Amino acid sequence: MVPELASDGSVEFVLGFSCGISDRITNTEFSRWIEQLQNSNRELEQFAYVASHDLQEPLRKVKSFTELLVEEYQGKLDREADKYMAYIVDGVFRMQSLIKDLLAYSRLGRSELTFEPTDIAEVLEQVLENLSVTIKENHAVITHDPLPTISANPQHMVELFQNLISNGIKFRSEATPEIHIEAQLQESKWLIGVRDNGIGIPTKYAERIFSIFQRLHGRSKYPGTGIGLAICQKIVQCHGGNIWVESESGVGSRFYFTLPIHQSW
């Protein structure tokens, strides 16, 4: 505080300012909440990793003994017994797929990513090779514009494009699946789109589909674990980008995501 004196030497008024501690408390509390949230997320990822990893061994035993039962007794018992064994085999298969995807999801962000110049055209070649059987069985047509070389983790890019392309094939309409990949440079980032002519997604579910374990359709018609798009979102976020979908039921979907030209961390 600074006193201002009158001509006779008396204090006429005082200049000063005050700083309420409530703002400091709020900022401190906010920082603490952020730290607690980050710790909770790390603990959740650790739990998911450990749980899914430790579940694999007992599940392998269930699978092995079930296969022995089928080999030894299928057709020798009544039809109900054969049906029950088929249920077990199907359940084990779905559980293995779920654990595999859960492990893949929990591993993302657990270690520091290594970025390197990554040719997206080469990434796409690898993806098409990985999905060659699925593409052939569904007579799918995959096309693309000229694609850039970016700073990224190559394996994560393969996983990202593989999930998006396989989704476009899985959720097909009656027409031959057609998927097109495009890329556009926007200032300091690339905008990449994966367009399909599938069944589309209702607008109200455009955000929900990126949540883990979210399914819009029954498992009997469209098999899967409901983790694929959550993995895509996490990969893009780990690369400093965003992902979203523009879609219309019965018309198809366009998945867009951004990736920085250069990684700064």
Residues 122 and 252 in one domain: yes
Residue 1 lies in a domain: no
Among 79, 107, 135, the domain-final residue is 107
Residues 159 and 234 in one domain: yes
Residue 12 lies in a domain: no
Nearest to 194, CA basis, from 157, 223, 220, 154: 157
Per-residue confidence band for 34, with pLDDT thresholds at 50, 70 and 90: confident
Residues 190 and 218 in one domain: yes
Residue 5 lies in a domain: no
Residues 246 and 124 in one domain: yes
Residues 48 and 133 in one domain: no
Place of tokens 């219309």: 248
Residue 77 lies in a domain: yes
Range of the domain at 87: 22-107
Residues 253 and 146 in one domain: yes
Residues 135 and 209 in one domain: yes
Residues 85 and 212 in one domain: no
Among 84, 107, 130, the domain-final residue is 107
Residue 4 lies in a domain: no
Residues 171 and 232 in one domain: yes
- Report the domain count for the chain: 2
Mean pLDDT, rounded, for 202-212: 82
Helices (H) and strands (E) in the chain — how many of each? 6, 9
Q: Is the separation of the CB atoms in 236 and 243 below 8 Å?
A: yes
Residues 62 and 120 in one domain: no
Among 50, 72, 107, the domain-final residue is 107
Residues 234 and 140 in one domain: yes
Residue 99 lies in a domain: yes
Residues 102 and 135 in one domain: no
Interval 71-97: pLDDT, tens:
888 888 888 888 888 888 888 887 887
- Please report, for the domain that includes residue 62, its CATH number: 1.10.287
Per-residue confidence band for 265, with pLDDT thresholds at 50, 70 and 90: very low
Per-residue confidence band for 116, with pLDDT thresholds at 50, 70 and 90: very high
Task: Work out the burial of residue 150: count CB atoms within 10 Å of its CB; fewer than 13 is exposed, 13-18 middle, 19 or more buried.
Answer: buried
Task: Work out the burial of residue 222: count CB atoms within 10 Å of its CB; fewer than 13 is exposed, 13-18 middle, 19 or more buried.
Answer: middle
Average pLDDT, whole number, for the chain? 81
Per-residue confidence band for 36, with pLDDT thresholds at 50, 70 and 90: confident
- Please report, for the domain that includes residue 249, its CATH number: 3.30.565.10
**What is the value of pTM for the model shown?**
0.69
Residue 94 lies in a domain: yes
Residue 75 lies in a domain: yes
Q: How far apart are CA 110 and CA 104, in angstroms?
A: 11
